[in-house]
A and B are shown apart, each in its own frame.
Chain A
Amino acid sequence: MHQHDGKFEILSKRVMAPGTTRLEVKAPRVARKARAGQFVMVRVDERGERIPLTIAERHPDKGTIAIVFQALGFSTRQMADLEVGQSFKDVLGPLGQPTDVRRCGRVVCVAGGLGIAFMYPEIVAFAEAGNDITSILGARSKDLLFYVEEIEALSTHVHIATDDGSLGHHGLVTEILAGLLEKGEHFDYCIATGPIPMMRAAVELTKRYDLPTLVSLDPIMVDGTGMCGACRVTVGGEVKFACVDGPDFDGRLVDFDELANRKRAFVEEEERCRLEETADRLEKEREAEQSGDATSR
């Protein structure tokens, strides 16, 4: 089913955390142009959805980019099954506006869960620009954290929070942020990436301290080039297309309620696709068993 024409070949694969996979993909043109904050649209095969994914790493010398994703639904699970040597059918990018990376002084980077994949390239870019980085990383449990060593190497301080208390603060990343701000730590800029409630909580907090805060939005997308409007978000009362005007926006201006609502648009269909997939797999396994060469997947 997967193509082997080598165009968007997978050159390395690493499981970053249970359910979270990093793939390094050959895409020289994308690698050359990509900047922090940008993303690609990928398709696994001829029947696949177009899936937006942050460009977590770029390696222009090798002509590769890396993407990190959580196997949530059908497409991301299908991607998690790809192996080195197989190829994506399509990779389009880099898309979206690059983050406006400036030297602003002390930057606090708050990332929850998969938000760490969005955050890592930002930290790389803001550190390269000469900023002092404080990182606050969170996940449900310590096993689910990733890029921690890389981020430690780029940050002056790293704080960890886990929902189950298995590492660092037992609680939310925003609680750590609140603590730092209350203590009177001064930051010049904040970046918050992660689930909507987390970004919303971060912004509510930083508003009180007049701390400019960048968030990275992940609305539903179809083309990723400004042609469909599926990704529209309201920012400062204006309708923006996240794929061309974003995906980074000033968090203080984002209408998170609307975003959360629009992201739920296809929940039932996603569920159906997943059920279908399960049925498919069972069917395949049964066939394989019958033909006597059952291989467990």
Chain B
Amino acid sequence: MAEETTTNRKAKREPRNPLPRRPPKERANDFAEVALGFDVKAALAEARRCLQCKRPTCIEGCPVGIDIPGFIKAVEEERFEDAVSVLKDRNNLPGICGRVCPQETQCEKACVLGKRQEPVAIGALERFVADWERDNIESRPQPNQGHDAPKVAVIGSGPGGLTAAADLARCGYRVTIFESLHAPGGVLRYGIPPFRLPRDILDREVDYVKSLGVQIETNVLVGKTLTLQELMEEEGYEAVFIATGAGLPWFLGIPGENLSGVYSANEFLTRINLMQAYRFPQYRTPIRVGKKTVVIGGGNTAMDSARCALRMGSQSAILYRRTRAEMPARAEEAENALAEGVELRELTVPVRVLGDEKGRVRALQCQRAKLGEPDASGRRRPLPIEGSEFDVEADTVVIAVSQSPNPLLPSTEPRLELGKDGRLIVNPETNETSIPGVFAGGDIANDAGTVIAAMGDGKVAARAIDQHLRKKHGLGPSPH
């Protein structure tokens, strides 16, 4: 609350500094980053807006509990290296979070300034600090593991896995991440496009995790290449953290969905982002994007798909069954998508995919909807209007309605207890699963569906694993 803040600060009432972005017309044609980030001047000005609250509510809004006023103070005083340390104390991947966190529902929502005017641009400042570090500090390997330190396995190299691995390596454990794809990063690599998260940033953050001594073994699908049991009983891993994400794409179950030209968002985005089909044929994975792409959904996945389609030279429209106000996408990205020319068709429910004589998509048959009472998610439920059918022309359809937890690993280990929604059941205090010594977090275990929530789980689990192993080896409590 404002009363609790230091009052001797100047320039409190200056307006929030906008994050500079490339012009929509220009950026909609390539995969280079959309947002440009603060320069030093803007960063200092924005840092000065922070009230340095005595009881900083913003920290409660951050799932990993970054000392937000602490790092902002360091920025304000141009002690950028100190700002890096404050961030890295809680967050191993600040360059990523500064870019993709839905700040408006997290730290910035909890910022007291937001009550009277606009909150401090915490995300943009975090990004500034991370980028400053990248440009100014050379990273040095700093492994901290003894040759006989206990081994811990992490399954999945998304944000949850990377965070847990980094924290565990810092505690002195020998950590190996097993990743089924050929490159680490999880959704950060295969889902989120480079124009939101440039690959050099991602690579750099992954390299940082490696510099702490973490091994990453790609091309290992746990459950197939190796089982969980083999990891623990034959390969000598004393604890495991499962962070395999929510990679199972949903389809709508409507007729025509298997026509050629209909993609799940996962397929569409994986081809473009992981396999770099936007550089086809120099990169060998093809993708076919026609002249009129229609994306079904309203989340980040839908926004990313629609914006990728634009960049592949297609017109691009999003069909959403509710209205913009209910869209779960990060606000900034919805705004970016529309500015770039993505069309939004609200209150539209697809009922059938129509094909041509060659078995390719030609249109989507849709119904109009109106909003009814709120449903379990608290959002107003869309009610289709009978007899309102109409066709939307489309030669490419991307289904971005949702994903559920990846069932592959749990299906190969019956001792793992699953909830109704396919998520692993974990102890909320420790993130331990039904198997002692096996922990889980991120989208495989919680339904927050954000990068930072997965990282938060990774931190909780790393701490619990440290305690578990200390107890097992008869060591004292952790100094960390």
Q: Which A residues contact B (CB, under 8 angstroms)?
A: 29-30, 33, 43, 47-50, 74-75, 89-95, 222-223, 225-230, 232, 234, 239, 244, 258, 261-262, 264-266, 268-270, 272-273, 276
Contacts and interface: CB of A to CB of B under 8 A. Distances in A.
Given A92-B180, A227-B248, A228-B249, A262 B221 contact: no
B225 interface: yes
**Dominant secondary structure of chain B at its interface with chain A:** loop
Most interface-central of A50, A94, A229 (chain B CB within 10 A): A229
Contact of A269 (B182, B275, B280): B280
Contacts of B407: 226
Nearest first, the 6 closest Cβ-Cβ pairs linking A and B are: A269-B286, A261-B359, A228-B267, A227-B247, A229-B264, A265-B260
Contacts, number: 115
Given A49-B284, A265-B288, A273-B280, A90 B264 contact: no
A266 B221 CA distance: 27
A90 B266 contact: no
Given A89-B182, A222-B275, A227-B248, A30 B282 contact: no
B182 A43 contact: yes
B468 interface: no
A229 B260 contact: no
A156 B267 CA distance: 44
B22 interface: no
Contact of A234 (B181, B225, B258, B275): B258
Given A227-B270, A239-B251, A244-B408, 13 more contacts: A50-B275, A50-B285, A90-B219, A92-B221, A93-B221, A226-B408, A227-B190, A228-B249, A229-B251, A229-B264, A232-B251, A232-B258, A265-B288
9 contacts: A50-B275, A223-B270, A225-B181, A228-B267, A229-B251, A229-B264, A230-B264, A266-B286, A270-B286
A91 B249 CA distance: 24
A196 to B, nearest CB: 14
Contacts of B282: 47
B161 to A, nearest CB: 15
Interface in B326-379: 359
Interface string B157-186: 000000000000000000000001110000
A43 B218 CA distance: 13
A92 B219 contact: yes
Nearest to B220: A29
Contacts of B267: 222, 228-230
Nearest to B269: A228
A268 B358 CA distance: 14
Contacts of B467: none
Nearest to A272: B281
A264 B260 contact: yes
A276 B257 CA distance: 32
A245 B248 CA distance: 13
Contacts of A234: 258
B218 A276 contact: no
B392 to A, nearest CB: 21
A262 B219 CA distance: 27
Contacts of A244: 408
A246 to B, nearest CB: 14
A259 to B, nearest CB: 9
A261 B271 contact: no
Contacts of A276: 281
B122 to A, nearest CB: 32
Contacts of B190: 227
A33 B182 contact: no
Contact of A226 (B248, B263, B271): B248
A95 B221 contact: yes
A93 B275 CA distance: 19
A291 B259 CA distance: 50
A272 to B, nearest CB: 6
B261 interface: yes
B144 interface: no
A264 B267 CA distance: 16
B21 interface: no
A29 B258 contact: no
Contacts of A266: 286-288
A215 to B, nearest CB: 18
